[in-house]
Amino acid sequence: MAAEDPSVSGVAGRYATALFDLARDEKSVDAVKSDLDKFNALLNESADLKRLVRSPVFSAEAQLKALSAVLDKAGISGITAKFLKVLTSNRRLFAVADVIRAYNALVANFKGEATAEVTVAEALNDKNLDALKAALKSVTGKDVALNVKIDPSIIGGLVVKVGSRMVDSSLRTKLNSIKHAMKEAG
């Protein structure tokens, strides 16, 4: 299965595939995804946790002790907690973000879904989100989960990436192309 999706290769892909196979056997694919997403959110919110995960200075024992406390406090247990502890013991915790991304890709593939990375200048309302999902479904033929990021620097419009396909209709890109055309003409 991992060979079908280029986003699940290497060390992260092997760990994600092993976790996915275990979660599927245990009928807990969604529960593990939820726990991994919760851990990923903690990782994105905490500079200290990022440092713990990425720094080779911490011993595996120190990482494991700190990670256990974080998992307990976050209410992450079961397969996900055991898996994150195995990553830590194997000195591969630094790859956890890539493992989570690869796991989510495997889950989407398993469910026949696609994930779109969407960047917008400001938050979209439910009506616009539904319209975007419907448009992407008509293009991909799959249900599309949206991973929306807000980046005011794009000024307006949106950037959508599904797999290796990207559509950039941001005002920043349009303005830059006009600026380059004016430079070449002048």
So what's the pLDDT on residue 115?
Answer: 82
Residue 84 CA to chain centroid, in angstroms?
Answer: 16
8 shares a domain with 99: yes
Domain count, the chain: 2
Q: Which whole number is the average pLDDT over 69-86?
A: 94
Task: Give first-to-last CA distance, the chain, whole Å.
Answer: 53
Domain of 178, CATH number, reads 3.40.30
User: CATH no. for residue 43?
Assistant: 1.10.520.20
pLDDT of residue 4: 43
Could you give phi then psi for residue 39, rounded to 5 degrees? -65, -40
Mean local confidence (pLDDT), 173-179: 86
CA distances from 103 to 31, 41, 58 (A): 12, 15, 26
| Nearest-angstrom CA–CA distance, 49 and 93 | 11
Digit-coded pLDDT (tens) for 1-24: 333 444 567 889 999 999 999 999
Max mean pLDDT range (123-127, 144-148, 182-186) = 123-127
Check residue 3 and give its pLDDT.
Answer: 39
Q: Residue 70 — very low, low, confident or very high, per pLDDT cuts 50/70/90?
A: very high
Same structural domain, 17 and 102: yes
Residue 8 confidence (pLDDT) = 67
3-state secondary structure of 119: strand
Using the Cα atoms of residue 115, residue 121, residue 126 and residue 128 in order, give the sign of their dihedral.
negative
What pLDDT does 113 receive?
A: 83
Span 118-129, average pLDDT: 90
70 and 118 together in one domain: no
Of 90, 108, 126, the residue at which a domain comes to its end is: 108
Q: For residues 89 and 126, state if they share a domain.
A: no
Domain boundary among 56, 85, 108: 108
- Same domain? For 44 and 125 the reply is no
Structure tokens at 4: 């079908």
Residue 174, pLDDT score: 84
Residues 57 and 101 in one domain: yes
Predicted pLDDT of residue 81: 95
Please provide the average confidence, as pLDDT, over all residues in the chain: 88
Distance CA 115, CA 126 (A): 18
Q: Which domain holds residue 12?
A: 2-108
On whether both 101 and 119 belong to a single domain, the answer is no
What percent of the chain has pLDDT above 90?
A: 49
56 and 81 housed in the same domain: yes
Phi, psi of 147, deg, nearest 5: -110, 95
Among 55, 82, 108, identify where a domain stops.
Answer: 108
Looking at residues 92-117, what average pLDDT do you find? 89
> Same structural domain for residues 98 and 176?
no
Average confidence (pLDDT) over 91-117: 89
Q: Are residues 80 and 147 in the same domain?
A: no
- Cα separation, 9 vs 6, in Å, equals 6
Question: Mean pLDDT, to the nearest integer, of 93-115?
Answer: 89
Q: Which string of DSSP letters, residue by residue, matches 88-102? A: HHTT-GGGHHHHHHH
Q: Tell me: the pLDDT tens digits for 35-61? A: 999 999 999 899 999 999 998 899 989
* Averaged pLDDT for residues 70-96: 94
26 and 98 fall within a common domain: yes
